[in-house]
Structure 1
């Protein structure tokens, strides 16, 4: 991790012992660790490992998955620095876009019919996980019109893994954006609804301003703000309120009726167990600490 130092407290010695970062012994160790805990680490449901693209295409995708918004995901892992990982991943993304039916059959077999029918093809993602990336890699992904995340990893001791997002860009999504805008336009049909649309703009500004690497993924029923994983989801404005769902444990919050609600186990659009109800600019101010905590948690 760039500049990060990790220490373990030790009361029998000097009080602090530095835990030295290291790379994996072999590339398969990184891939295996990521695949085993993919949903926790990346917010992606694991589908397949070493997936063959066929004899004509001649390749094997390290890992395939489906993220929490329904976007197909390719994960490519490298032990150290590999100048070809981005081009390799883009090569596989092109294959994936040409084999949608095959991917959806895989999703249907592993996750069920509902998950397959909600696949979001407007923004397939490539996540590259490696020991490091060059400045040329970072520049390259920002020039592409694809959704690409570059993630640096380090192992600490025998039981700690660190992930750092080096670069994150979103591409495509035009169909989803149109659906979102239609939902917003319907809400703005009267004066009260227009006020909620304006309030949604204020929430959007706050969430995008929380830090670097925040991308928007738009579906008809919600807009997800993502930093590898979703941290809040904003639903289209209703006539007199906005609903935001946060990746935050409701048990860690003093719930306020009419403002915050535990929705774990309840069906709703988007992801997250804490519902925040916003009606006025004052509510947006009250919610900012919760927004920051949700951002920090991912």
Structure 2
């Protein structure tokens, strides 16, 4: 994050605020754990979690907005071992689905535990800096790995996503035979809905996809029932409705800041939503290119909010 400069403004004069790292690694860990949902879009589950015979302790365990298990590791400055260490913990995680799901059940309830998505567990590494070789290496590793740098500027903390490797999805959902998951696995995926859509709707989605990805650092990650677009957090989820010829887009927006229009936008408060958590979610229904043009500013605001 050496290219990030912060200045304090006083009238027409500015003074640079020097960026610093924390004095102790545990300070960084405790800060993120106490604010994990706000900072990373991840629900915090456990700290210093013992991995038994695998050896060591996972700094933080969490669950993201898509129901994906997340391992978070921290380093105060630069340490090339952070990625290797996190990968070793991923081996433990993939062998301990039941233990992790019990942890989710204890912290977040049965519904969250029953919908854990094991197709692509994530690793998030937070450090003062990463080497060029680390950022290249994670692109070659077939797992989802986010590299996040931080700097402390006085009483402010800045995070920067410097690399986000998409990895590969192993399955659509957990192989558990529970009724909830079995029903989910039997339903069509969002990709199947898209493939079966009329040409006009597929082309409209391609335009929407291009618009979302045109914003810096935004990535698309397909889920079972929706396409998720994210930075640190999801900024949008997209569902396909072929019979209605519609793209249903959920955005991270405060409904009170949007002039809601019947048939085009609506407040999702209290209605539940896949992939976007919290009270501030607005749904946008796009059926034409004109609708997409109208939605462009709303999408930009959602990107800015994430």
Q: Secondary structure in 1 aligned to 2:32?
A: helix
| Residue of 174, 182, 191 corresponding to 1:181 | 191
- Corresponding residue for 1:166? 162
- TM-score normalised by structure 2 residue count: 0.89
Once residues 141 and 64 of structure 1 are traced to their aligned partners in structure 2, the CA distance between those partners, rounded to angstroms, is 20
* Deviation of 1:293 (Å): 2.1
* Change beyond 3 A, Cα 1:169–1:227: same
- Corresponding residue for 1:129? 126
- Corresponding residue for 2:284? 276
Is the 1:83–1:137 contact (alpha carbons within 8 Å) kept by the matching residues of 2? yes
* Deviation of 1:254 (Å): 2.4
- Let me know the Cα RMSD of the aligned residues: 1.8
| Residue of 282, 289, 292 corresponding to 2:297 | 289
Is the 1:197–1:237 contact (alpha carbons within 8 Å) kept by the matching residues of 2? no
- Corresponding residue for 1:217? 221
Superposed CA offset, 1:52-71 (max 9, x none): 001x2111000000000000
Q: Secondary structure in 2 aligned to 1:21?
A: coil
Q: Secondary structure in 2 aligned to 1:66?
A: strand
Is the 2:145–2:165 contact (alpha carbons within 8 Å) kept by the matching residues of 1? yes
Once residues 10 and 216 of structure 2 are traced to their aligned partners in structure 1, the CA distance between those partners, rounded to angstroms, is 34
* Deviation of 1:231 (Å): 0.4
Is the 2:50–2:56 contact (alpha carbons within 8 Å) kept by the matching residues of 1? yes
* Deviation of 1:194 (Å): 4.0
The total of aligned residue pairs comes to: 288
Once residues 238 and 172 of structure 2 are traced to their aligned partners in structure 1, the CA distance between those partners, rounded to angstroms, is 14
Gaps of 5+ in 2: 174-187
* Deviation of 1:200 (Å): 1.6
More deviation, 271-280/29-38: 271-280
Gaps of 5+ in 1: none
- Corresponding residue for 1:207? 212
- Corresponding residue for 2:67? 70
2:25 is the alignment partner of 1:27: yes
Within-5 A mapping of 1:230-249: 230-239=234-243, 240-249=245-254
More deviation, 92-101/35-44: 92-101
Once residues 80 and 159 of structure 2 are traced to their aligned partners in structure 1, the CA distance between those partners, rounded to angstroms, is 19
- Corresponding residue for 1:8? 8
Is the 2:66–2:274 contact (alpha carbons within 8 Å) kept by the matching residues of 1? no
Once residues 44 and 216 of structure 1 are traced to their aligned partners in structure 2, the CA distance between those partners, rounded to angstroms, is 17
Within-5 A mapping of 1:67-146: 67-146=64-143
Is the 2:234–2:275 contact (alpha carbons within 8 Å) kept by the matching residues of 1? no
Q: Secondary structure in 2 aligned to 1:243?
A: strand
More deviation, 164-173/37-46: 164-173
Q: Secondary structure in 2 aligned to 1:294?
A: helix
Superposed CA offset, 1:87-136 (max 9, x none): 11111111100111111111111111111111010110000000000100
Superposed CA offset, 1:73-98 (max 9, x none): 00000000001100111111111001
* Deviation of 1:146 (Å): 0.4
Is the 2:44–2:62 contact (alpha carbons within 8 Å) kept by the matching residues of 1? yes
More deviation, 29-38/174-183: 174-183
